[in-house]
């Protein structure tokens, strides 16, 4: 069967290959510690689960949900934005419920990108920005995130003709995979650039609540952001709800409308019982403090062990990732392969997030701290 050109233009899905390699090692009987995939191991807080149990009994939730989501869910999103960021949103026109934020990120280019349009993407970055751009026929243009610049893009390095052709820009802070946090100034600069060049700004804030210092900013805090931007949020990482599939997009009403048009033609809304559980999560902020405490403790354990082993690892101020340079003279795939084959530790090679991720690996703090201690000890043997 011949695949369509658009699928053949996609880079191979990194995590699929990693999973295969891991499965081979497990099949050989190796005791593998998986720091590869960023999927919280903690359970969804019980008030959210309890609310779901009640909601699932109600027949009115068993029917097709609306595309944009229940008004009550969108109101809960608006309340949360007001409380958390001081941002006012109109729940009617400026909020849309999503079947996880990946759904919205994946569909957005289909609404706004024509073949040949440039889409600015962070490199390294969450692979969905590139994939969704290619599926929509767009041309991804990488914005390097370099350690020397705090893993922030340097907008002044983007050529003018590229900016002229750019239709969309993806940003993501707190950042996966680098764990960097953006100052409000970066968002201000981005909004200015978006206005000047007619670019739609798309900020992915999936990790806004996974922080250990100052609470990260929302792009929507910037004056005028709503004229040019959409921000994606997810309940997945904040409330350990990755399997539930619930997230939201907020911001410019016309961008939200475009996204809704695509949804109307391709999928449906999120299960209403899940939206009710989402209301519970946002209003109650259940378990969020505990979630941060757990990741902070794990972060400190892993950073301590990595440094003790001789790695140069900075302590992240947000996200549940540690992004650190591989030993001198090795590349990220070679080092991750050694880590898996020689000591049974799964790390994600940085190059899988884009060419500028080369030289780094990412470790996810989504396993108990005893495993992180053990992983640190094992990695010591291959420095
Ligand atoms: C996990 C993740 C998401 C998507 O999460 P959903 O479960 O689809 O809401 C989005 N962006 C980044 C950067 C992520 O790491």
Q: How far is the CA of 308 from the centre of ligand 1 (A)?
A: 31
Average pLDDT over residues 237-248: 98
Q: Which pTM does this prediction carry?
A: 0.96
For the chain, where do the domains classified as CATH 3.40.640.10 start and end?
A: 46-284
Separation of CA 315 from chain center: 19
Question: What is the greatest pairwise CA distance in the chain?
Answer: 61
Q: What are phi and psi of 375, to 5 degrees?
A: -60, -40
**Domain 5-43+288-380 fold:** 3.90.1150
Examine the pLDDT at 68 and tell me if it is beyond 80: yes
- For the stretch 32-67, pLDDT in tens is 999 998 999 999 999 999 999 999 999 999 999 999
- In ligand 1, which atom is closest to the CA atom of 125? 13
The 3-state secondary structure of 201-233, one letter per residue = EEEECCCCCCECCCCCCCHHHCCCHHHHEEEEE
Please report which confidence band the pLDDT of residue 206 belongs to, taking 50, 70 and 90 as the band edges. Answer: very high
pLDDT at 19: 78
User: The sheet that has 95-98: what strands, in order across it?
Assistant: 95-98, 247-251, 229-234, 200-204, 166-172, 118-123, 139-144
User: Cβ distance 229 to 202 under 8 Å?
Assistant: yes
Q: From atom 14 of ligand 1, which residue's Cα is the shortest distance away?
A: 206
For the chain, where do the domains classified as CATH 3.90.1150.10 start and end?
A: 5-43+288-380
Examine the pLDDT at 327 and tell me if it is beyond 70: yes
CA distances from 345 to 25, 315, 340, 377 (A): 10, 20, 5, 10
- For the stretch 12-32, pLDDT in tens is 776 677 778 889 999 998 899
- In ligand 1, which atom is closest to the CA atom of 176? 13
**What is the average pLDDT score of the chain?**
96
Examine the pLDDT at 121 and tell me if it is beyond 80: yes
- For the stretch 77-107, pLDDT in tens is 999 999 999 999 999 999 999 999 999 999 9
Q: Which residues line ligand 1 (CB under 6 A)?
A: 38, 100-102, 126, 172, 176, 204, 206, 234, 236-237, 242, 247
Query: Which of the residue ranges 15-24, 187-196, 215-224, 307-316 would you say has the lowest mean pLDDT?
Result: 15-24
Q: How far is the CA of 32 from the centre of ligand 1 (A)?
A: 25
pLDDT at 336: 94
SS3 381: coil
Please name the residue ranges forming H helices in 66-183.
71-85, 101-112, 127-135, 160-165
- For the stretch 275-301, pLDDT in tens is 999 999 999 999 999 999 999 999 999
Tell which one of 122, 126, 202, 233 to mutate to probe ligand 1, the residue whose CB is within 8 A of the most ligand atoms: 126
Sequence length of the chain is 383
Closest CA to 187 of 203, 198, 175, 199: 203
Q: From atom 4 of ligand 1, which residue's Cα is the shortest distance away?
A: 102
Q: From atom 12 of ligand 1, which residue's Cα is the shortest distance away?
A: 206
pLDDT at 14: 66
| CATH placement of domain 46-284 | 3.40.640.10
Q: What are phi and psi of 208, to 5 degrees?
A: -60, -25
């Amino acid at each position: 069967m011949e695949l369509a050109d658009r699928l053949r233009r996609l880079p191979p899905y990194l995590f699929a290959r990693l999973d295969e390699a891991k499965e081979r090692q497990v099949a050989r009987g190796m005791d593998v510690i998986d720091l590869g995939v960023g999927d919280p191991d903690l359970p969804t807080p019980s008030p959210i689960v309890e609310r779901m149990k009640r909601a699932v009994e109600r027949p009115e939730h068993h029917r097709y949900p609306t595309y944009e989501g229940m008004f009550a869910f969108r109101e809960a999103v608006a309340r949360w934005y007001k409380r958390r960021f001081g941002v006012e949103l109109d729940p009617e026109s400026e909020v849309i419920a999503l079947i996880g934020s990946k759904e919205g990120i994946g569909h957005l280019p289909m609404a706004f990108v024509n073949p040949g349009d440039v889409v600015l993407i962070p490199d390294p970055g969450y692979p969905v920005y590139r994939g969704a751009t290619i599926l929509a026929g767009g041309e991804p243009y990488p914005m390097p995130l370099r350690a020397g610049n705090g893993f922030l893009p340097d907008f002044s390095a983007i050529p003018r003709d590229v900016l002229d052709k750019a239709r969309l820009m993806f940003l993501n802070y707190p950042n996966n995979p680098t764990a960097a946090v953006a100052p409000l100034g970066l968002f201000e600069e981005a909004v200015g650039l978006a206005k000047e060049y007619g670019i739609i700004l798309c900020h992915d804030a999936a990790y806004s609540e996974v922080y250990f210092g100052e609470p990260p900013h929302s792009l929507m805090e910037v004056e005028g952001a709503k004229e040019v931007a959409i921000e994606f949020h997810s309940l997945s990482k904040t409330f350990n709800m990755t399997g539930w599939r619930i997230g939201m997009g907020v911001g410019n009403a016309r961008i939200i409308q475009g996204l809704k048009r695509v949804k109307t033609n391709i999928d449906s809304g999120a299960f209403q019982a899940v939206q009710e559980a989402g209301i519970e999560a946002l209003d109650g902020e259940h378990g969020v403090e505990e979630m941060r405490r757990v990741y902070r403790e794990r972060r400190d354990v892993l950073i301590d062990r990595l440094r003790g082993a001789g790695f140069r690892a900075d302590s992240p101020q947000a996200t549940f990732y540690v992004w650190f340079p591989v030993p001198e003279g090795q590349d990220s795939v070679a080092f991750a392969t050694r880590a898996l084959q020689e000591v049974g530790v799964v790390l994600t090679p940085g190059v899988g997030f884009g060419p500028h991720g080369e030289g780094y690996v990412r470790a996810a703090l989504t396993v108990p701290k005893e495993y992180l201690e053990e992983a640190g000890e094992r990695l010591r043997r291959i420095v």
